Chain A
Amino acid sequence: MADHNLDSLDPMAFTRLIPTRESHFAAAEARIPADYPANRLAAALHPAYQHLVVSEVKAETKDSRVYTLVPDGDMGCTSLAYFDAGQYLCVYIEEGSVVTQRPYSILSSPRDSLCGFYKICVKAVEGGFVSNHILENWCVGTKVRTSAPLGEFTYEPLRDCENVVAVCGGSGITPILSLAKAIAEGTEELSLTVLYGSRLEESIICRQELDILSEKCENIKVVYVLSHEEKEGYERGFITASKIKKYAPEGKYSLFMCGPEAMYKSLEGELSGLSLERKQVRREVQSECFAPAPDSPVSVNITVKAHGELKTVAASGKDTILRALEKAGVAAPSHCRGGECGYCRSRLVSGKVYIPEGLDMRRLADSRYGYIHPCCSFPLTDIEIEVFPKR
């Protein structure tokens, strides 16, 4: 029987290890590669910020405008980060030393970004701080800082059906408009049926573009639904299961939804009538949460630590912690504002919070270790939290 040992190997080889290694170092160039392909791609797709400038403003409807944003050469920005149709930009609004941010879906096409522009649509919101600030202040030449494109509301061919029915409400048309353009230009391969709900004919956003797209591309169909107006050529009322069934293609399809909270609420009841699997239903999260607990306190104190500094601010229990901090002029990070992306993740040091059902998208261990997403958490008591804004 053979001996199973290492006796055939030279133990003295050990003495040559360090000299061999030193010879490798001696022979090497004293140089580190400047860059690597994977890091180059990551930097191109995910710059920390993009410095842009408004190049065009177009009044879209009575209360909305489309802004064209191009690279701001003065700030050293020469090109735009490419994106997947359906993604958004976080727009940073600086007022004094306080920075607040809001997500806006990109409505231009991915290829447009290679040609050097993004388009976003801003609609007036009653009491909306950022949207009204933009509508009042932005003009051609305004300098704007945004994030890189972000978000998961995209078409994924390995997951989604080849047929997509998109249900949109109001300015929720924008990510789907980008998707339609991506289909027309050949960036994405799918068939798209859009059911687009608006109050009135005149409140339809980007009507002309939608009509041109559906005319020239047989993979794109658009159905307009008006809730507050009866007109020929339009569906009337809200978007229901029966309307979806009427226009949905034969066979399996994925349902993409983007719109205001009220639309999601009304669709919730409709979905059961469509016998879709959960994987077939995609929903853009990006919508501000206004649903505090019924017994939320009128006023609480939030003690907030950031970069080692402490501050206490008064807040209403009706506001999310993120909104409360923004109202009080405290810088806090955020991206999606719908609980999903986790970028606003903060440490709850003490106190109790309420997280509406379905919006708790935290990692399991975050819940265990006392981390919260302030964009969809409401204070129930005085609280102390630590936030981590970028400086």
Chain B
Amino acid sequence: MPQKRKLKYMAKKYDAIVIGAGNAGLCCAATMAKNGFSVLVLERNSVPGGSATSFRRGRFEFEAALHELASVGTKEDPGSVMRLFSYYGIDIDWQYEKNAFRVIADGDGGYDVTMPAGIEDFCREMERSVPGSFESTLAAFKLGAKIGAGFNYLSSGNVDPQVLFSEHADFLRAVSHSVDECLSSLGMPKKAQDIFKTYWPYLGAPTSEIDFAHYMLMVDSYIRKRPAMPHLRSHELSLALEEVIVKLSGEVRYNCPCEKILTKDGKAYGVIAGGEEIYADAVVANCFPDTAYKSLLDPEAVSERALKIAGARKISSLFFSVYLGLNRSAEELGIKDYSVFLFDTPDSGEQYERSASLDTTSMVVANCLNCAVPDSSPEGTSTVFITTMLREEAWGDVRPEDYKKLKNKFAKKLIKLYENKMGISLMPYIEEIAIATPATFARYLGTPCGTPYGYELRGWDTMLCRIMNAKNEQAVENLYFVGAHGERGDGYSTTYANGHSVGEKIAKGVQKNGRS
């Protein structure tokens, strides 16, 4: 039974209003609430979480978009997500996957390898698959530690250029060169590089563009801490965060879209939602800046520079996902791997190029949650979740009357691809099926093209550039953007961190300036 919580009458003025209860919106609100702020969260859907949600079909409950969480760690050795959740007083039943991933790449120089978590084990397995790769792989992980130290030094707020260039030279190289450039410089054999780049779909940009520092932080957080999943799907994480907000007297309203952000003299001072004006000292938008500029703000409140920043950027990956509830257990079906990447070429640049069209893409990430969370579906059943990441241009106009056939045709292609490459039969055992296309994600997330990610992480627009320039890029005073489109890019651990850090910034700022 739920705990007794106090109901209170509505206040029309809050310290902060958060538009959107996605990962970053929830964390931002929770952090502000922890700092004693009155917070109102507006969510247009009937559930929180954005992509961090689940849905039911028959006797199955599917994870909507999460493949695996990085930076969780254990109670003894907590990662950033575990530490943040502890700060909120949240205790999640985490389940871990012992392997990082299995990857099968067809074509010239192809391979089928299963990479374990743990840096030593990972490097040893790499050596077994690609003799002569141990040292360079280990060197990459050692750089990971240096990169972390570099970020910490930069964000300390007290940066001496001389110290930066002398003591953090490798960090500077890693933030200004691509994954491809850095792995080559490390002397990593080609095949080992290909295997090392397997995670690129999680960042949505080609490895010739993603800066090595960002990529390495992600790889490091998966391999060092092991991938983790919440026992009750992501919805558990979103509800745990929501509960923190509500317990601290914050309010979360569902089915309540923001209709307008109110501004005066270039400053945000509230919103219109549910037909009424609600005021706040700070407005936090968990939507894309594009969405806010186009439909929530008065045109005159948006500077030309803000529009140019948005205009220069490209929308990152779109998802096409097939969710299967199967009436056989994973063992019966012969599924052993939690996470499998299936590529039709070992070259990550080519994989990215081919994802520009439904006809050419054949890249798939497939997960069987039962391998990480055995009781995630009823006994004798299992679920398989197949996703392909697409580039924006892959999803053109589709007439509503052609939609069902198109999505079924493409879903069938993905299932067949899985069946052929894995040698596992799924089709006869489908008890429930759901198919989410970019249009489905657009319906629930409201993001441009339905991307669950943000802006593409091009080499000229890296995480570090975004963080360094964040102050100069605030479009409207008292209006803050958080989410996958933000400084740290997409991903659960990154959007949580992004929301939390903006929440802290607002809390400090308002304390300094006093509340109006």
Contacts of A21 in B (CB 8 A): 460-461, 465, 469
Name the interface residues of B383-398: CB closer than 8 Å to any CB of A: 392, 395-398
Instruction: Say yes or no: B430 contacts A158, CB within 8 Å.
Output: yes
Distance of A158 Cα from B142 Cα, bound (Å): 47
Distance of A229 Cα from B424 Cα, bound (Å): 52
Taking residues whose C-beta sits less than 8 angstroms from the other chain, chain A's interface range is: 35 or more
Instruction: Say yes or no: A20 contacts B56, CB within 8 Å.
Output: no
Instruction: Say yes or no: B403 contacts A45, CB within 8 Å.
Output: yes
Instruction: Say how far A379's CB is from chain B's closest CB, in angstroms.
Output: 14
One of A129-137, A258-266, A345-353 at the interface: A345-353
Distance of A10 Cα from B430 Cα, bound (Å): 54
B432 within 8 A of A: yes
Given that A21-B469, A368-B239 are contacting pairs, would A345 and B47 also be in contact in the complex, using a CB cutoff of 8 Å?
Answer: yes
Contacts of A370 in B (CB 8 A): 1-3
Given that A3-B187, A363-B54 are contacting pairs, would A82 and B232 also be in contact in the complex, using a CB cutoff of 8 Å?
Answer: no
Instruction: Say yes or no: A308 contacts B10, CB within 8 Å.
Output: yes
Q: Which of B11, B173, B312, B412 contacts A13 (CB 8 A)?
A: B173
- Chain A's closest residue to B318 (CB) is A38
A30 within 8 A of B: yes
- Chain B's closest residue to A31 (CB) is B311
B255 within 8 A of A: yes
Distance of A347 Cα from B47 Cα, bound (Å): 11
Distance of A279 Cα from B328 Cα, bound (Å): 11
Name the interface residues of B404-425: CB closer than 8 Å to any CB of A: 404, 408, 411-412, 415
One digit per residue, 1 when the CB lies within 8 angstroms of any chain B CB and 0 when it does not, for chain A 180-193 equals 00000001000000
- Chain A's closest residue to B93 (CB) is A368
Instruction: Say how far A337's CB is from chain B's closest CB, in angstroms.
Output: 15
Contacts of A369 in B (CB 8 A): 2, 236, 239-240, 242-243
Given that A33-B448, A38-B318 are contacting pairs, would A309 and B408 also be in contact in the complex, using a CB cutoff of 8 Å?
Answer: no
One digit per residue, 1 when the CB lies within 8 angstroms of any chain A CB and 0 when it does not, for chain B 1-41 equals 11111011111000000000000000000000000000000
- Chain B's closest residue to A46 (CB) is B443
B185 within 8 A of A: yes
A111 within 8 A of B: yes
Contacts of B430 in A (CB 8 A): 158-159, 279
A384 within 8 A of B: yes
A2 within 8 A of B: yes
Instruction: Say how far B240's CB is from chain A's closest CB, in angstroms.
Output: 8
Distance of A187 Cα from B254 Cα, bound (Å): 36
Contacts of A157 in B (CB 8 A): 408
Contacts of A8 in B (CB 8 A): 185
B304 within 8 A of A: yes
Contacts of A342 in B (CB 8 A): 46-47, 55-56
Distance of A44 Cα from B197 Cα, bound (Å): 38
Q: Which of A9, A32, A34, A347 contacts B311 (CB 8 A)?
A: A32
Instruction: Say yes or no: B460 contacts A309, CB within 8 Å.
Output: no
Instruction: Say yes or no: B139 contacts A4, CB within 8 Å.
Output: yes
Contacts of B446 in A (CB 8 A): 39
Distance of A386 Cα from B250 Cα, bound (Å): 14
One of B202-210, B433-441, B479-487, B494-502 at the interface: B433-441
Given that A37-B398, A158-B430, A307-B274 are contacting pairs, would A4 and B135 also be in contact in the complex, using a CB cutoff of 8 Å?
Answer: yes
Instruction: Say how far A348's CB is from chain B's closest CB, in angstroms.
Output: 6
Q: Which of A6, A7, A16, A39 contacts B174 (CB 8 A)?
A: A6
Instruction: Say yes or no: A158 contacts B7, CB within 8 Å.
Output: no
Question: What total of chain B residues lie within 8 Å of the partner, measured CB to CB?
Answer: 106
Instruction: Say yes or no: B307 contacts A32, CB within 8 Å.
Output: yes
Instruction: Say yes or no: A388 contacts B254, CB within 8 Å.
Output: yes
Instruction: Say yes or no: B442 contacts A308, CB within 8 Å.
Output: no
Distance of A28 Cα from B430 Cα, bound (Å): 48
B305 within 8 A of A: yes
Distance of A157 Cα from B441 Cα, bound (Å): 22
A138 within 8 A of B: no
- Chain A's closest residue to B459 (CB) is A20
Contacts of B240 in A (CB 8 A): 369
- Chain B's closest residue to A391 (CB) is B274
Contacts of A303 in B (CB 8 A): 7
Instruction: Say yes or no: A111 contacts B235, CB within 8 Å.
Output: no
Contacts of B46 in A (CB 8 A): 333, 342-343, 345, 388
Given that A82-B400, A279-B327 are contacting pairs, would A350 and B307 also be in contact in the complex, using a CB cutoff of 8 Å?
Answer: no
Given that A18-B469, A45-B400, A308-B10 are contacting pairs, would A388 and B136 also be in contact in the complex, using a CB cutoff of 8 Å?
Answer: no
Distance of A90 Cα from B430 Cα, bound (Å): 29
- Chain A's closest residue to B54 (CB) is A363
Name the interface residues of A32-63: CB closer than 8 Å to any CB of B: 32-34, 36-42, 44-46
Instruction: Say how far A34's CB is from chain B's closest CB, in angstroms.
Output: 7
Contacts of A319 in B (CB 8 A): none
Distance of A362 Cα from B235 Cα, bound (Å): 11
B504 within 8 A of A: no
Q: Which of A5, A81, A158, A347 contacts B186 (CB 8 A)?
A: A5
Closest 6 CB pairs of A and B: A308-B10, A370-B2, A28-B312, A82-B400, A279-B431, A4-B139
Known: A7-B185, A13-B172. 7 other contacts (CB 8 A): A6-B170, A9-B181, A30-B304, A34-B294, A42-B440, A309-B10, A363-B232
Can you list 6 A-B pairs with a CB-CB distance of less than 8 A?
A: A4-B138, A9-B182, A25-B308, A158-B433, A278-B58, A363-B61
B residues engaging A (CB < 8 A)? Answer: 1-5, 7-11, 46-47, 54-59, 61, 135-136, 138-139, 143, 165, 169-170, 172-177, 181-182, 185-188, 232-233, 235-236, 238-240, 242-243, 251, 253-256, 274-275, 290, 293-294, 304-305, 307-312, 315, 318, 327, 392, 395-398, 400-401, 403-404, 408, 411-412, 415, 427, 429-433, 437-443, 446, 448-450, 460-462, 464-465, 468-469
A residues engaging B (CB < 8 A)? Answer: 1-14, 16-18, 20-21, 24-34, 36-42, 44-46, 81-82, 84, 110-111, 114, 152, 156-159, 187, 277-279, 303, 305, 307-310, 333, 340, 342-343, 345, 347-350, 352, 361-366, 368-371, 384, 386, 388-391
